[in-house]
């Protein structure tokens, strides 16, 4: 069992480290704001021109796509850090610390993401509000609920990034595994539009994957009355997928350690 | 009391043999050709608590593989190891609290943060309580003279300063065994001397066992009492550092400052290695010629202003030992 105090210390050190990279943080934030505006413009244009029939207020869907973009940009690219550790052999040297390697990297990823959250949840939300000009139809409480769950969804996203990163031990490269996972996240997580606009069969597939608990589940609260999942369902989804993901990660990690023990990383 | 015991340790790596050309690539893809590379061929040794041992060998000799097995990173193919009473690969987490590691080319410090943030992090990782940490860091800060570095981001430190901090980082949890892998690589002469003295002093004061690998024989001479020479996965010498010169090389370097501008020493076992007006440096093979006889012969040709008799550099001693071993094998 990992000591939570150790997880906290690694996360807080990573938080401080990330806060010292102001330029990096700022550039990434600006890119995120740019993409959020592109998608807001996109949906506002669709609504203005009546290109498709949107069953929600346009402001809601603008908030929805802004938050899904935010989730992608907030999370550090942890798979690359792990891939680099595998390539350089540093992963082998991390095994002799009294802290499991993957949990160490995940804590650091959470610390890094928390630093981003501070900026994105304040400046980012302010930018979106100014651009859309109104809150989602569910009001401030819907927005806060979405942001609260989005933080945990992002933590789940970090777990899957870590698993993608560790595949570098077998495939020499984590990019392939991450790209496959990312495409699943984009399509089945509902990055560009809420899953409720998808055909029924695709929604069924989406609900069989953890990406629903990461992205659509938390963000759909901004759809107000039109949000298909209530808080209890999202909490349950998250608990189940967290449990499954941690177990899966344990299996992958043990297999990874066995491989390093034999080959030296 | 043994801090570390290694018994008939063997390690082989399975590597894929690549073939050249298109057909080679295709055949390797469908039917890989595996081969076994033996990194360690049954080495055995013990190290007493508090002993400082240098583990020396050329590239590919098996030094790093041994350190990786001893620290718990690698699992051996066969043989047994006990480090601080633990089997490293099976009890890695328990062992982690007993050992400290410094790998010269890898850092455990956070690059953009002040060194003390990394120290604090490591103290938490090793379950060092706050009061113990404060006392420990005070002692280490004084002995390693890093007081002015604590608040400095690691990225703005010189390599020598960083290495001092790396060693402090590995000492925070007061390990009883310290593994140092090339701790002075890339450092200038004065920084190397500082690091060597600090490691030696700290180990002497705390009774820490040190196992050091290095290509720099200076590290071995200044820090260690004992040396294990390894080549092609086998131990070829295990002896005291002080005995290495006398037991394995029978040469002395004699420098003569003479009144005459030139003198000539043609004697069996004497080789000129440097010559300038009023000075001559010769290497004397003490199995063929005594140093005394060389000096006497020189005195018949000129009066001497000064004489110095030195051992050859340790690097030459090591080279000579490897050359001898290679000859025996051939």
* pLDDT at site A140: 94
pTM flag (> 0.90): no
* pLDDT at site B183: 84
Q: Write the CB contacts of A255 (distance below 8 Å, at least 6 apart in sequence).
A: none
* pLDDT at site A264: 58
Rounded to 5 degrees, φ, ψ at A90 are -60, -25
Taking 90 as the threshold, does the pLDDT of residue A80 lie above it? yes
* pLDDT at site B327: 64
Residue to mutate among A97, A104, A258, with most B CBs inside 10 A, is A97
Taking 70 as the threshold, does the pLDDT of residue B10 lie above it? yes
Using an 8 Å Cβ cutoff, are A171 and A177 in contact?
yes
- Find how far residue A101's CA is from the centre of its chain: 21
Nearest C-alpha neighbor of B208 from the set B179, B181, B176: B176
**B128: confidence class by pLDDT, cuts 50, 70, 90:** very high
Rounded CA gap, A12 and A250, in Å?
A: 23
For chain B, percent of residues with pLDDT exceeding 90: 30
Nearest C-alpha neighbor of A36 from the set A115, A120, A103: A120
Rounded CA gap, B192 and B104, in Å?
A: 12
Mean pLDDT of B138-159: 89
Q: How many CB atoms lie within 10 A of CB B23?
A: 9
Which residues of A are less than 8 Å from B90 in CB distance?
Answer: none
Question: What b-and-e string marks burial along B302-321, b requiring 16 or more CB atoms within 10 Å of the CB?
Answer: beeeeeeeeebebebbbeeb
Which residues of A are less than 8 Å from B99 in CB distance?
Answer: 96
Taking 80 as the threshold, does the pLDDT of residue A22 lie above it? yes
The per-residue pLDDT of chain A, averaged, comes to: 91
* pLDDT at site B21: 80
Task: Provide the shortest C-alpha distance from residue B108 to chain A (in Å).
Answer: 9
Mean pLDDT of B245-253: 75
Name the 3-class secondary structure at A103.
Answer: helix
Record the tokens describing residue A124, joined without a space: 């980012």
Burial of residue B323, with CB atoms counted within 10 A of its CB: 0-12 exposed, 13-18 middle, 19 or more buried:
exposed
**A107: confidence class by pLDDT, cuts 50, 70, 90:** very high
Is any Cβ of chain A less than 8 angstroms from the Cβ of B15? no
Mean pLDDT of B245-267: 82
* pLDDT at site B30: 77
pLDDT tens string B198-239? 888 888 888 899 999 887 888 888 899 999 999 889 998 898
CB contact under 8 A, A97 and B72: no
CB contact under 8 A, A96 and B95: yes
For chain B, percent of residues with pLDDT exceeding 70: 97
Taking 60 as the threshold, does the pLDDT of residue A132 lie above it? yes
**B329: confidence class by pLDDT, cuts 50, 70, 90:** low
* pLDDT at site A89: 82
**A118: confidence class by pLDDT, cuts 50, 70, 90:** very high
Q: Write the CB contacts of A36 (distance below 8 Å, at least 6 apart in sequence).
A: A65, A66, A69, A70, A124, A127, A128, A131
Taking 90 as the threshold, does the pLDDT of residue A117 lie above it? yes
| CA angle in degrees (0–180, nearest 5) for B94-B89-B107 | 75
Is any Cβ of chain A less than 8 angstroms from the Cβ of B68? yes
**B131: confidence class by pLDDT, cuts 50, 70, 90:** very high
CB contact under 8 A, A261 and B89: yes
Rounded CA gap, B106 and B173, in Å?
A: 19
Record the tokens describing residue A99, joined without a space: 């802290």
Which residues of B are less than 8 Å from A265 in CB distance?
Answer: 73
Task: Provide the shortest C-alpha distance from residue A258 to chain B (in Å).
Answer: 9
Rounded CA gap, B224 and B52, in Å?
A: 5
Rounded CA gap, A164 and A211, in Å?
A: 14
pLDDT tens string B73-91? 888 999 999 999 999 988 9
Nearest to B73 among A16, A96, A98 (CB): A96
Output A90 or A76, whichever has higher pLDDT.
A76
Nearest to A17 among B72, B113, B127 (CB): B113
Residue to mutate among B121, B122, B123, B133, with most A CBs inside 10 A, is B121
Rounded CA gap, A117 and A3, in Å?
A: 24
| CA angle in degrees (0–180, nearest 5) for B68-B222-B173 | 50
Rounded CA gap, B92 and A161, in Å?
A: 26
pLDDT tens string B11-26? 998 877 777 787 877 7
Using an 8 Å Cβ cutoff, are B98 and B177 in contact?
yes
Q: Write the CB contacts of B256 (distance below 8 Å, at least 6 apart in sequence).
A: B263, B279, B280, B281, B282, B295, B298, B304, B306, B307
Using an 8 Å Cβ cutoff, are A179 and A205 in contact?
no
* pLDDT at site B1: 74
CB contact under 8 A, A261 and B103: no
Using an 8 Å Cβ cutoff, are B73 and B59 in contact?
no
Nearest C-alpha neighbor of B110 from the set B121, B97, B123: B121
Range among A175-189, B229-243, B306-320 with highest mean pLDDT value: A175-189
Using an 8 Å Cβ cutoff, are B22 and B102 in contact?
no
Smallest CA–CA distance from B97 into chain A, residue: A98
Taking 70 as the threshold, does the pLDDT of residue B301 lie above it? yes
Q: What is the dihedral of CA B290, B296, B300, B301, to 10 degrees?
A: 60
Which residues of A are less than 8 Å from B68 in CB distance?
Answer: 92, 264
Record the tokens describing residue B292, joined without a space: 């005394």
Q: Work out whether strand B33-48 and strand B251-258 pair parallel, antiparallel, or are unpaired.
A: unpaired
pLDDT tens string A36-68? 999 999 999 998 888 888 888 999 999 999 999
Task: Provide the shortest C-alpha distance from residue A3 to chain B (in Å).
Answer: 9
Rounded CA gap, B3 and B45, in Å?
A: 11
Q: What is the ipTM of this complex?
A: 0.83
* pLDDT at site B330: 57
Lowest-pLDDT choice from A140-144, A163-167, B10-14, B186-190: B186-190
Mean pLDDT of B137-150: 88
* pLDDT at site B328: 62
Q: Residue B10 pairs with which residues in a beta bridge?
A: B41, B78
Nearest to B72 among A20, A96, A262 (CB): A96
* pLDDT at site B276: 87
Q: What is the dihedral of CA B33, B34, B39, B42, to 10 degrees?
A: -130
Q: What is the dihedral of CA A53, A57, A58, A61, to 10 degrees?
A: -100
* pLDDT at site A260: 80
Is any Cβ of chain A less than 8 angstroms from the Cβ of B317? no
- Reported as type and span, the H/E element at residue A206 is helix A200-206
Mean pLDDT of A176-188: 93
- Count Cα atoms within 13 angstroms, Cβ side, for B261: 1
Burial of residue B149, with CB atoms counted within 10 A of its CB: 0-12 exposed, 13-18 middle, 19 or more buried:
buried
Mean pLDDT of A192-210: 92
């Amino acid at each position: 069992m990992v000591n939570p105090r150790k997880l906290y210390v690694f996360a807080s050190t990573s938080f401080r480290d990330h806060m010292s990279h102001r330029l990096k943080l700022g550039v990434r934030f600006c890119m995120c704001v740019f993409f959020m505006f592109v998608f807001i413009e996109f949906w506002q244009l669709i609504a203005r021109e009546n290109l498709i029939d949107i069953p929600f207020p346009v402001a809601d869907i603008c908030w929805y796509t802004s938050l899904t973009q935010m989730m992608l940009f907030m999370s550090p690219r942890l798979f690359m850090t792990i891939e680099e550790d595998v390539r350089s052999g540093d992963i082998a040297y991390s095994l002799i610390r009294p802290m499991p390697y993957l949990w160490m990297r995940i804590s650091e990823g959470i610390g890094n993401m928390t630093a981003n959250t501070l900026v994105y949840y304040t400046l980012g939300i302010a930018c979106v509000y100014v651009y859309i000009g109104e809150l989602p139809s569910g009001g401030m409480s819907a927005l806060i609920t979405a942001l609260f769950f989005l933080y945990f969804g992002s933590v789940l996203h970090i777990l899957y990034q870590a698993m993608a990163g560790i595949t570098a031990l077998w495939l020499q490269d984590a990019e392939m595994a991450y790209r496959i996972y990312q495409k699943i996240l984009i399509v089945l997580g509902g990055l560009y539009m809420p899953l409720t606009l998808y055909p029924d069969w695709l929604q069924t597939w989406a609900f069989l994957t953890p990406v629903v608990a990461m992205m659509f589940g938390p963000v759909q609260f901004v759809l107000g009355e039109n949000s298909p999942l209530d808080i209890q369902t999202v909490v349950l989804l998250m608990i189940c997928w967290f449990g499954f993901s941690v177990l899966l990660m344990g299996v992958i990690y043990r297999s990874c350690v066995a491989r390093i023990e034999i080959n030296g990383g | 009391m043994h801090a570390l015991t290694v018994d008939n340790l063997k390690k082989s790596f399975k590597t894929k043999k690549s073939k050249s050309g298109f057909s080679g690539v295709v055949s390797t893809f469908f039917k890989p050709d595996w081969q076994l590379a033996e990194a360690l061929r049954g080495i055995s040794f013990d190290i007493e608590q508090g002993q400082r041992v240098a583990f020396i060998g050329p590239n590919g000799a098996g030094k790093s593989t041994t350190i990786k097995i001893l620290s718990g990173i690698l699992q051996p193919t066969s043989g047994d190891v006990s480090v601080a009473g633990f089997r490293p690969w099976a009890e890695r987490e328990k062992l982690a609290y007993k050992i400290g590691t410094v790998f010269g080319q890898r850092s455990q410090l956070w690059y953009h943060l002040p060194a003390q943030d990394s120290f604090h992090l490591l103290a938490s990782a090793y379950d060092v309580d706050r009061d113990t940490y404060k006392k420990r860091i005070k002692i280490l800060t004084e002995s390693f003279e890093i007081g002015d570095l604590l608040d400095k981001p690691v990225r703005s430190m010189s390599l020598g300063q960083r290495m001092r901090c790396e060693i402090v980082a590995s000492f925070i949890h007061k390990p009883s065994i310290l593994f140092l892998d090339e701790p002075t690589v890339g450092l200038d002469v004065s920084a190397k001397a500082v690091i060597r003295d600090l490691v030696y002093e700290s180990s002497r004061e705390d009774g820490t066992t040190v196992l050091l690998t290095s290509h720099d024989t200076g590290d071995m001479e200044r820090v260690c009492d004992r040396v294990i020479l390894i080549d092609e996965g086998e131990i070829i010498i295990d002896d005291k550092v002080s005995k290495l010169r006398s037991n394995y090389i029978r040469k002395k370097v004699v420098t003569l400052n003479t009144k005459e501008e030139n003198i000539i020493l043609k004697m069996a076992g004497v080789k000129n290695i440097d010559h300038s007006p009023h000075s001559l440096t010769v290497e004397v093979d003490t199995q063929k010629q005594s140093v005394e006889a060389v000096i006497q012969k020189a005195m018949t040709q000129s009066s001497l202003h000064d004489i110095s008799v030195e051992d050859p550099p340790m690097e030459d001693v090591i080279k000579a030992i490897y050359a001898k071993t290679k000859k025996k094998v051939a």
